[in-house]
């Protein structure tokens, strides 16, 4: 049985098309997740929703308890996770408002609890992370976008940065030389923790701005909010169409 979870990022603290059945407060050996898990239905399919930054958007990217979130989702019986992430565009072909389905990650975060296998008594386990995102879920998202008539950039390399500040122009130039197309603060360690627990995990990224130094002006927080609002509305529609695809419909 497949059970899908959606982890909402900035701009997506609730799912408007989710008929809520239950809210469940969870505890894990790693502490509490960002918020109570919201169980509900999208159409006729069960979905679990978790707002990564808390219901009131109070948890900064470096303070999110990624371990507790992923552990709790698995405890709920979740098998698939779509992570929604706000990002800046390093590749200027990805204008603000664009939806991106990343296929690779470079991790520049530090000091985050990034593994379930780091401490005794868990045996050390090395996961294969060559392709960090789950192809079955990426395919469902591509199909959902096609059905909804929503443009989706079907690949891109996600640079995960520490935040909460935005980057310097030189940092963005370095990420670009490294091969990154988009930059965000929440992609890691979430994706790796999901792989450690064998969850099928993909990211749907919403471009909120051109990354530092990639536009004439400095980063404008009001403009980010506007692009996030319209981008997340599109993301919701795409998700509605992708969920039946995941279930083979």
**Smallest separation (angstroms) from ligand HPA to the CB of 181:** 12
**Smallest separation (angstroms) from ligand HPA to the CB of 71:** 25
Please identify, using beta-carbon distances, which residue of 12 and 200 lies nearer to ligand HPA.
Answer: 12
Cα separation, 122 vs 43, in Å, equals 39
Please identify, using beta-carbon distances, which residue of 67 and 209 lies nearer to ligand HPA.
Answer: 209
Q: Which residues bind ligand HPA (CB under 6 A)?
A: 86-88, 161, 166-167, 183-185, 208-209, 211
**Smallest separation (angstroms) from ligand HPA to the CB of 211:** 4
Please identify, using beta-carbon distances, which residue of 11 and 132 lies nearer to ligand HPA.
Answer: 11
Please identify, using beta-carbon distances, which residue of 188 and 246 lies nearer to ligand HPA.
Answer: 188
Cα separation, 186 vs 164, in Å, equals 10
Please identify, using beta-carbon distances, which residue of 116 and 227 lies nearer to ligand HPA.
Answer: 227
**Smallest separation (angstroms) from ligand HPA to the CB of 92:** 13
**Smallest separation (angstroms) from ligand HPA to the CB of 35:** 20
| φ/ψ (deg, to 5) at 2 | -90, 135
**Smallest separation (angstroms) from ligand HPA to the CB of 154:** 20
At which residue do the structure tokens 């197309």 appear?
181
Please identify, using beta-carbon distances, which residue of 100 and 200 lies nearer to ligand HPA.
Answer: 100
**Smallest separation (angstroms) from ligand HPA to the CB of 52:** 12
CB within 8 Å of 116: residues ≥ 6 apart? 67, 71, 122, 193, 196, 197
Please identify, using beta-carbon distances, which residue of 103 and 167 lies nearer to ligand HPA.
Answer: 167
User: b/e for 176-209, b at 16 or more Cβ within 10 A?
Assistant: beeebbbbbbbbbbbbbbbbbbebbbbbbbbbbb
């Amino acid at each position: 049985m497949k059970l899908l979870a959606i982890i909402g990022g900035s701009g997506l603290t609730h799912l408007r098309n989710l008929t809520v059945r239950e809210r469940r407060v969870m505890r894990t050996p790693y502490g509490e997740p960002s918020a109570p898990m919201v169980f509900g239905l999208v159409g006729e399919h069960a979905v679990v929703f978790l707002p990564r930054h808390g219901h009131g958007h109070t948890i900064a990217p470096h303070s999110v308890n990624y371990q507790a979130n992923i552990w709790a989702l698995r405890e709920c019986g979740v098998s698939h996770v779509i992570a929604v992430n706000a990002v800046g565009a390093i590749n200027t072909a990805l204008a603000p408002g664009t939806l991106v389905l990343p296929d690779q990650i470079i991790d520049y975060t530090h000091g985050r609890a990034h593994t379930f296998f780091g401490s005794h008594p868990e045996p050390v386990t090395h996961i294969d992370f060559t392709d960090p995102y789950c192809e079955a879920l990426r395919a469902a998202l591509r199909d959902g976008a096609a059905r909804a008539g929503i443009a989706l950039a079907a690949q891109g390399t996600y640079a995960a940065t520490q935040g909460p500040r935005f980057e310097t122009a030189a940092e963005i130039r370095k990420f670009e030389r490294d091969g990154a197309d988009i930059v965000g603060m929440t992609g890691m360690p979430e994706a790796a923790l999901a792989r450690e627990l064998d969850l099928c995990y993909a990211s749907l990224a919403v471009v909120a701005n051109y990354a530092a130094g990639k536009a004439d002006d400095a980063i404008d927080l009001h403009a980010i909010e506007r692009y996030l609002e319209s981008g997340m509305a599109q993301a919701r529609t795409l998700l509605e169409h992708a969920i039946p695809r995941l279930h083979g419909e």
